[in-house]
């Protein structure tokens, strides 16, 4: 189904090379180009790459804590689900970093996906913080130091998601028509 979504952005052309006829797929959709100075664009892209890596390090570190809260469903479930959006953010940021001119497909699979994944990380880390606070206030657990470290890791992850979303919101694009569109 996803392939049909972008079907009208490509067309098949027949090209002759050295007495051989070949069919090539040509992109005909618009391009997205960042509308900001190169050094600022590079800085924002580096931040969008480093922030999810920091989130991943915090995620892994909090997973090695083996705190009592990690045995409570309402604490661990939002924490575990964070793996997917953090992974999507890293993969999308790595794909987004080197490109200065994006096709519609690349724009949606990199830039838009970073924003959506950032929102999910924020929601899930907030839910994890909330679950950990409820766990602490209920007086469960024998390791309050580890619970506090887990809580701080979750709070830093939420703050990192807010920072990533703010940077993401500052990047603006302009569309440029493709000369092969016809």
pTM of structure: 0.85
User: Is 12 contained in some domain?
Assistant: no
Give me the phi and psi of 33, to 5 degrees please. Answer: -125, 135
Query: Residue 18, by phi and psi: left (phi above 0), alpha (psi -120 to 50) or beta?
Result: left
The terminus-to-terminus CA distance of the chain in angstroms comes to: 25
SS3 62: helix
What confidence category does residue 1 fall into, taking pLDDT thresholds of 50, 70 and 90?
very low
CATH number at 155 reads: 1.20.120
79, 115, 81, 83: which is closest to 96 by C-alpha? 115
Is residue 90 in a domain?
yes
Question: Going along 7-149, which residue ranges are E strands?
Answer: 10-17, 20-27, 31-34, 101-103
What is the tens place of the pLDDT at every residue in 92-136? 999 888 887 888 888 989 999 999 999 999 999 999 999 999 998
Q: Is residue 147 part of a domain?
A: yes
Kindly state whether residue 130 falls inside one of the protein's structural domains: yes
Domain count within the chain: 1
- Residue 126 domain boundaries: 37-174
Q: Is residue 29 assigned to a domain?
A: no
pLDDT in tens, 16-69: 777 788 888 888 888 888 888 878 888 998 999 999 999 999 999 999 988 888
* Residue 32 lies inside a defined structural domain of this protein: no
* Structure tokens belonging to residue 85: 């959006």
In a domain, 11, yes or no: no
Phi, psi of 149 (to 5 degrees): -65, -45
- With respect to residue 62, please indicate whether it lies within any of the assigned structural domains: yes
Residue 77 has a pLDDT of 94
């Amino acid at each position: 189904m996803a392939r049909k979504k972008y079907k009208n952005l490509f067309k098949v052309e027949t090209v002759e090379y050295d007495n051989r006829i070949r069919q090539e797929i040509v992109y005909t959709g618009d391009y997205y180009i960042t509308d900001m100075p190169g050094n600022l664009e590079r800085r924002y892209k580096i931040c969008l790459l480093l922030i999810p890596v920091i989130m991943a390090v915090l995620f892994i570190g909090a997973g090695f804590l083996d705190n009592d809260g990690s045995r409570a469903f309402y604490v661990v479930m939002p924490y575990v689900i964070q793996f997917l959006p953090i992974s999507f953010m890293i993969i999308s940021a790595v794909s987004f970093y080197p490109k200065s001119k994006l096709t519609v497909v690349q724009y949606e699979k990199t830039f838009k996906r970073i924003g959506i994944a950032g929102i999910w990380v924020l929601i899930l880390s907030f839910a994890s913080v909330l679950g950990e606070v409820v766990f602490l206030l209920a007086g469960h657990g024998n390791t309050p130091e580890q619970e506090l470290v887990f809580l701080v890791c979750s709070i830093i992850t939420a703050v990192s998601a807010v920072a990533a979303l703010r940077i993401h919101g500052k990047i603006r694009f302009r569309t440029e028509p493709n000369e092969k569109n016809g």
